[in-house]
Amino acid sequence: MSWPFALGGATGLLAAVMLAGAPVFIAFLTLNLAGLSLLIGPRGFGLFANSLYQTATSSSLAAIALFVLMGEILFRSGAIEILFDSIDRLIGRVRGRLYVVTIALSTLFGALSGSAVAVAAMLGRSLLPSMAARGYDRRLAAATILSGASLAPIIPPSLLAIIVGSMADVSIAGLLIAGVAPGIVLAALTLGYVALRVARGAPAGRVEEGRPPAAGSAALAEAAADRPQAPRLTVARALLNLAPFSLTVFAVMGLILLGVATPSESAATGVVGACLTAAVFRRFSLAMLREALASTVTIAAAILLIICSAKLFSQLLSFSGATRGLVELAGASALGPDLTVLVMMLIPLILCMFIDQIAFMLLAIPIYEPIVESLGVDPILFWTLFLINLTVGSLTPPFGYTLFALKGAAGGALNSADVFRAAWPVVGLFLTGMALFWFAPGLVLWLPGLL
């Protein structure tokens, strides 16, 4: 069987199973079983079992479950509400302040959940209706949510970065740290865009005084729009409230940068930090911990099944000769590294408008990895750009998953046309950032170089 036929048949079967509505891991499992039967026969099922065992017992994948648990503890304990309130108080009374609050919160929530869709849905449900009711521009508010939410797969601790590192044989610690500077730059670009729009007359809301803060994320979002600038004592209290969260962030990223802990070990210290944070604010309970553990087991098990199936898919590609054929094809082309990378980036930009990020990522990594190695491109730089590109695809109209999550959560506050128009400036900002990172790779590689 020729490798182009094998590769085309594999991707076609995978797309057909996923379009039929099957979960991602079922699609990959079906593809693997069909590939084993055709390429190897019954003897291949030994390879199947061995590959699943080796992937499932990889210690580096423990970081996924631990990072999920860290986020679950912070969300379920209600500590996130305190974080919301503290950031809002520190920003104070500025023109268009709730835009700034939205960017800051979506960035922080993205770091805790790792899911752009989850952050867009949460803020679309809690914050966007309140902003619209207080005179903020709906499209600009939606753009800030989409931009901040799309940082979730980029900024650490990113579950997608761990998956890419484990599958592409790239330093997981390096990939996690590499997302820090791009995340800050993209957030700064969004802030600059918002400041420009407000300066040019975009509605920036109104402030009403005398309203006490309320409990719950939706109520906090509502109170945030009305709260006047906090006095010094309140600002000092807000800074004090942020201290436990800062220690949790240091327990994750700081220990990796200092070379004290591996990503899995730092994820474990992050869980301890999340528990201590919940305890400091008197939000820790055994019932909450049980709920967080149960949710973590479900999420982590699903991710692990997907990774195991995708790892075997990469082995089948190698066995069929597709991996070697792709490398030879890339080497024989006269495009050069820059144009080859551009083509490789255009593919996820288009396809992630239609399919799930993780599904495309697990399909593309085994194909892209040997090509990246043959081009001599720095793997940390390439895979960081790849992660950013996945998020751009998921917020590009008309089929981006993040757009549907925001529209569904916002209800009547937004229509589809508003969401699409809000997304295009964000797409432009992220593509500008990607071009900047490619031509100034030090922005991405400086922090990993310190490891």
Digit-coded pLDDT (tens) for 260-282: 777 778 888 888 988 998 898 88
Tell me the percentage of the chain whose pLDDT exceeds 90.
11
**Of 184 and 393, more confident:** 184
For tokens 């076609």, name the residue.
12
What pLDDT is recorded for position 336?
75
- The reported pLDDT for the residue numbered 231 is 47
pLDDT in tens, 347-390: 888 777 666 667 677 778 888 888 888 888 899 999 999 999 88
Nearest to 91 by CA among 253, 246, 238: 238
> What is the per-residue pLDDT for 427?
92
On the question of pLDDT at 228 being above 70, the answer is no
The count of C-alpha atoms lying within 13 angstroms of the C-alpha of 140, restricted to the half-sphere facing its C-beta, is: 26
Q: Are 430 and 188 in contact (CB under 8 A)?
A: no
The angle at the Cα of 161, spanning 154 to 79, to the nearest 5 degrees, equals 65
The per-residue DSSP string of 124-146 comes to: HHHTHHHHHHTTB-HHHHHHHHH
Predicted pLDDT at 211: 37
CA–CA gap between residue 219 and residue 207 (Å, rounded) = 16
Phi, psi angles (nearest 5°) of residue 202: -65, 140
| Residues whose CB falls within 8 Å of the CB of residue 185, separated by 6 or more in sequence, listed in order | 433, 436, 437, 443
Rounded Cα distance between 58 and 179, Å, is 23
Residue 435: which pLDDT band, with cuts at 50, 70 and 90? very high
Residues in Cβ contact with 89 at an 8 Å cutoff, skipping those fewer than 6 apart: 227, 230, 234, 235, 237, 238
pLDDT value at 221 more than 60: no
> If pLDDT is split at 50, 70 and 90, which confidence band does 113 have?
low
Retrieve residue 200's tokens: 């040019």
pLDDT per position as a tens digit, 133-186: 777 888 898 899 888 888 878 887 777 888 888 888 888 888 888 988 999 999
3-class secondary structure, 336: helix
- Quick check: 206 pLDDT over 70? no
For residue 92, report the phi and psi dihedrals to the nearest 5 degrees.
70, -160
Best CA proximity match to 392, nearest among 163, 192, 116, 24:
116
Q: Is the pLDDT of residue 219 over 70?
A: no
Which residue's entry shows tokens 């937004």?
414
**Has residue 450 got a pLDDT over 50?**
yes
Of 217-231, 349-363, 433-447, the range with the lowest mean pLDDT is: 217-231
pLDDT of 441 higher than 50: yes
| pLDDT for the residue 182 | 92
Q: What is the mean pLDDT of the chain?
A: 77
Task: Check pLDDT > 50 for residue 108.
Answer: yes
Q: Mean pLDDT over residues 60-88, rounded? A: 77
pLDDT in tens, 88-105: 777 767 777 778 888 887
Tell which residue, 171, 159, 175, has the closest CA to residue 362.
Answer: 159
Residue 406 has pLDDT above 70, yes or no: yes
pLDDT of 73 higher than 70: yes
